[in-house]
């Protein structure tokens, strides 16, 4: 299954991407994590040091010129099949590929960097049989047709705040408009029994995660989201999210 994770900045979408990837890996799945944010954070969340994290492909001007071209003549469908193995890093049994922002990749932008990113994302989402989790740019501007058409489902993450939920509703509405109906909402850092406003465009709630004490305790010393003490609670949430997505539009009796 190929999933995209979206939401307002700071709501925990990168952490949830890592937690889902770790859960799937422990259950015997091959997982690719794709960092498609202009401020890549998946590497640190996987416990990688700065020199272990691949350079974002959008910043590799030599590679872009080699595969896409330049000087006014670019190939919109460059060869990318070899790039995942060449430019990925391995962490906790997962494969990490850092692409950089895909903003505009589905909206008609013909720049060389976005042509490479869109082709590579399409290759990962359409031609590979492994699990692929794409950590998207914060907000809604990134959610172009080139991303939505290729994923099986969308995980919309929010914190229990009006701004976070309004962004989640905007993300969901845009994705629906582009044809992606398999969506779920995950509420992060939620107090037990928390209620949130009934915004009409929010996708169905699949899971609510409370504040994770072990994650908060390490944040000043480590950016890693791996190996948290609340594994049983996290596993229950991951199972609920994946089950909800497997049920089509995300409806799940919690």
Residue 61 in this model has a pLDDT that exceeds 70? yes
pLDDT of residue 144: 63
What is d(CA 34, CA 52) in angstroms, rounded to the nearest whole number?
Answer: 15
pLDDT at 231: 96
Q: What is the mean pLDDT of residues 25-42?
A: 91
CATH topology of domain 2-246: Rossmann fold (3.40.50)
Res 235: pLDDT: 97
Q: What was the pLDDT predicted at 105?
A: 39
Question: What is the pLDDT at residue 232?
Answer: 97
Asked if pLDDT for residue 27 goes beyond 80, the answer is: yes
Q: What is the average per-residue pLDDT within 108-124? A: 72
Q: Span 57-68, mean pLDDT?
A: 86
Q: Which position has the higher pLDDT, 75 or 213?
A: 213
**Any idea what the Cα angle at residue 109 is, between residues 40 and 39, rounded to 5°?**
10
* Composition of the chain by helix, strand, coil, percent to 5: 35, 20, 45
> How confident is the model over 21-39, as a mean pLDDT?
93
Per-residue pLDDT band at 72 (split at 50, 70, 90): low
Q: Extract the runs of DSSP E, i.e. beta strands, from the chain.
A: 2-7, 31-36, 69-70, 73-74, 89-91, 94-98, 131-136, 153-158, 183-187, 205-208
Mean pLDDT over the full length of the chain: 86
Q: What is the mean pLDDT of residues 23-43?
A: 92
Domain extents in the chain:
2-246
Q: Quick: pLDDT tens for 128-182.
A: 778 999 998 887 666 665 566 778 999 999 999 999 999 999 999 998 988 889 9
**Residue-wise pLDDT tens digits, 213-239:** 999 999 999 999 999 999 999 999 999
The answer to which of 120-129, 152-161, 198-207 has the lowest mean pLDDT is 120-129
Backbone angles phi and psi of 94, in degrees to 5? -105, 155
Q: How confident is the model at residue 200 (pLDDT cuts 50, 70, 90)?
A: confident
Query: How far apart are the two ends of the chain, measured CA to CA in Å?
Result: 22
In whole angstroms, give the CA distance from residue 118 to residue 218.
35
Res 94 pLDDT > 80: yes
Lowest-confidence region among 12-21, 78-87, 113-122, 136-145? 136-145
């Amino acid at each position: 299954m190929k999933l995209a994770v979206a939401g307002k900045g700071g709501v925990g979408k990168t952490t949830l991407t890592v937690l889902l990837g770790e859960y799937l890996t422990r259950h015997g799945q091959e997982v690719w994590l794709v960092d498609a944010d202009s401020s890549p954070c998946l590497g640190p969340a996987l416990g990688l040091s700065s020199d272990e994290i691949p350079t974002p492909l959008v910043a590799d001007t030599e590679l872009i010129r080699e595969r896409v071209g330049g000087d006014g003549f670019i190939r919109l469908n460059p060869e990318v099949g070899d790039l995942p193995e060449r430019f990925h890093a391995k962490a906790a049994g997962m494969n990490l590929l850092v692409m950089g922002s895909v903003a505009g990749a589905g909206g008609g932008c013909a720049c060389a960097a976005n042509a490479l990113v869109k082709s590579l994302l399409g290759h990962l989402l359409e031609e590979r049989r492994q699990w692929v989790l794409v950590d998207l740019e914060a907000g809604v501007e990134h959610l172009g047709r080139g991303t939505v058409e290729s994923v099986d489902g969308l995980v919309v993450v929010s914190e229990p705040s009006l701004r976070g939920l309004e962004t989640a509703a905007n993300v969901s509405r845009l994705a629906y408009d582009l044809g992606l109906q398999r969506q779920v909402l995950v509420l992060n850092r939620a107090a037990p029994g928390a209620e949130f406003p009934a915004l009409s465009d929010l996708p169905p709630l699949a899971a609510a995660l409370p504040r994770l004490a072990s994650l908060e305790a390490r944040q000043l010393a480590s950016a890693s989201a791996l190996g948290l003490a609340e594994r049983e609670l996290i596993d229950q949430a991951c199972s609920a999210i994946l089950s909800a997505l497997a049920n089509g539009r995300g409806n799940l009796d919690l």
